């Protein structure tokens, strides 16, 4: 006897939860055929491609102009302690600029990141709501202050008042060599620039870190409190591990601004092409400050030389961001994605 039981088609979803998931995926796949989805996909993909093309075009332009300058340079571009592209023969190098840029940025990060994380934790987990709102507003407002305003404030207020701090550091910590002041002069040094940059990047690091700490699942904190943990133990075991990747990202945003800051550094720093381990001595230079100070008066070769130094800053920024991405990728378990 031939069975008349109908045979279900092979593409029908199986019963139960698996069938519901399969049906949802099928409906989602069918939904991508709508005109709005296609337009959004095209715009998103086009934006990503445009960004890659823009970065590539910047790199090509900088490399082309840098090649022209390096072909005429009679000195070692990486080790020469001089900047004279208009000389005969032209001699210029980035040793002083690279040293000043890295040192001032390291000082800024060493000061700003711990303070910013502390402020973010206070706003998100310690301060009463009536106090946390105004403090967060003021921090966000500081991020909108133009660089030139910070520079004017640094030149007229920070530099005169840091002279006393410099003398104190020289008196008690001159044995560290880096805090030994061997030249007489006002506090227009890389140390002053680092403090100013720390103040400038503090709002960025604080704002991003605060938003990350506010995303910590309440279940994590309540579980720690239920086990008898104190407020600090909750932060150490639940909040900081969850927000570690976010703090690293915030720090890299701040470092990017510190590396490329121009007008504030040019206003405060007393430039010189000398490398000194005594950070309290006046002098030094950074990539951005040197470009801003000399681009207008430079000849054609001088501008190509400045563009070559900009290429080094461009590569340095890419390396910093790439390193940050690697660190974040290694710490995915702290991102909260698996919470």
Per-residue pLDDT reduced to its tens digit, 69-89 = 999 888 888 888 888 888 888
pLDDT for 206 = 92
pLDDT tens column, 264-306: 898 898 888 888 888 888 888 899 889 988 888 888 898 999 9
pLDDT for 15 = 54
Residue from 139, 148, 270 nearest 206 by CA = 139
pLDDT for 331 = 60
DSSP state at residue 175? G
The DSSP secondary structure of 9-33, one letter per residue, reads PTTSPPSSHHHHHHHHHHHHHHHTT
SS3 132: helix
Distance, in Å, from the CA atom of 312 to the CA atom of 62, rounded to the nearest integer, reads: 9
pLDDT for 65 = 92
CA angle 293, 296, 300 (to 5 degrees): 120
Distance, in Å, from the CA atom of 152 to the CA atom of 267, rounded to the nearest integer, reads: 7
Distance, in Å, from the CA atom of 207 to the CA atom of 299, rounded to the nearest integer, reads: 42
Rounded to the nearest 5°, which phi and psi values hold at 73? -75, 130
SS3 299: coil
> Confidence band (pLDDT; 50, 70, 90) for 33?
low
> Confidence band (pLDDT; 50, 70, 90) for 337?
very low
pLDDT at 20 over 80: no
> Confidence band (pLDDT; 50, 70, 90) for 14?
low
Torsion of CA 185, 189, 191, 194, to 10 degrees: 150
Distance, in Å, from the CA atom of 17 to the CA atom of 228, rounded to the nearest integer, reads: 39
Q: Which of 22-31, 236-245, 254-263, 270-279 has the lowest mean pLDDT?
A: 22-31
Distance, in Å, from the CA atom of 57 to the CA atom of 51, rounded to the nearest integer, reads: 10
Rounded to the nearest 5°, which phi and psi values hold at 145? -70, 130
Q: Which of 121-125, 183-187, 208-212 has the lowest mean pLDDT?
A: 183-187
pLDDT at 240 over 50: yes
pLDDT for 16 = 52
For the chain, percent helix, then strand, then coil, each to nearest 5?
A: 70, 0, 25
Residue 86: C-alpha distances to residues 80, 203, 290, 295, 298 (Å): 15, 41, 15, 12, 8
Q: Which of 38-42, 158-162, 225-229 has the lowest mean pLDDT?
A: 225-229
Sign, CA torsion 127/130/133/139: negative
Element (H, E) at 292: helix 287-294
pLDDT at 19 over 70: no
Sign, CA torsion 257/264/112/136: negative
Distance, in Å, from the CA atom of 295 to the CA atom of 303, rounded to the nearest integer, reads: 6
Find where tokens 């990202």 sit. Answer: 249
**CB neighbours of residue 245 within 10 Å:** 22
pLDDT tens column, 133-160: 889 889 888 888 888 999 999 999 999 8
Rounded to the nearest 5°, which phi and psi values hold at 84? -140, 65
Residue from 219, 253, 244 nearest 339 by CA = 219
pLDDT at 239 over 70: yes
Mean pLDDT value of segment 159-171: 88
Mean pLDDT value of segment 232-248: 86
Strands (E), the chain: 83-84, 91-92
Across the chain, mean pLDDT equals 84
pLDDT at 29 over 60: no
pLDDT for 4 = 52
């Amino acid at each position: 006897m031939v069975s008349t039981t109908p045979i279900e088609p092979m593409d029908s979803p199986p019963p139960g939860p698996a069938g519901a998931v399969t049906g949802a995926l099928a409906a989602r796949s069918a939904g991508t055929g709508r005109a709005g989805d296609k337009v959004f996909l095209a715009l998103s993909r086009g934006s990503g491609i445009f960004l890659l093309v823009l970065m590539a075009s910047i790199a090509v332009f900088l490399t082309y102009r840098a090649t022209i300058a390096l072909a005429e340079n009679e000195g070692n571009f990486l080790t020469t302690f001089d900047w004279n592209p208009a000389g005969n023969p032209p001699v210029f190098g980035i040793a002083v600029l690279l040293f000043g840029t890295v040192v001032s940025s390291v000082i800024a990060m060493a000061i700003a990141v711990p303070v910013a994380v502390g402020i973010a934790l206070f706003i998100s987990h310690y301060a009463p709501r009536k106090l946390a709102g105004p403090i967060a507003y003021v921090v966000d407002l500081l991020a909108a202050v133009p660089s030139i305003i910070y520079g004017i404030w640094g030149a007229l207020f920070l530099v005169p008042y840091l002279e006393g701090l410099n003398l104190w550091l020289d008196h008690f910590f001159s044995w560290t060599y880096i805090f030994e002041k061997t030249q007489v002069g006002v506090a227009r040094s890389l140390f002053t620039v680092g403090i100013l940059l720390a103040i400038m990047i503090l709002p960025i690091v604080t704002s991003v870190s605060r938003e990350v700490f506010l995303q910590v699942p309440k279940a994590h904190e309540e579980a720690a409190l239920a086990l008898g943990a104190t407020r600090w133990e909750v932060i150490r075991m639940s909040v900081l591990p969850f927000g570690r990747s976010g703090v690293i990202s915030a720090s890299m945003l701040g470092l990017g601004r510190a590396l490329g800051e121009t007008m504030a550094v040019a206003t405060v720093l007393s430039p010189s092409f000398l490398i000194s381990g005594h950070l309290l001595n006046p002098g030094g230079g950074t990539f951005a400050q040197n470009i801003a100070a000399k681009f207008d008066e430079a000849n054609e070769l001088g501008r190509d030389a400045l563009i070559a130094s900009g290429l080094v800053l461009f590569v340095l920024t890419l390396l910093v961001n790439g390193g940050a991405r690697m660190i974040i990728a290694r710490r995915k378990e702290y991102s909260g994605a698996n919470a």
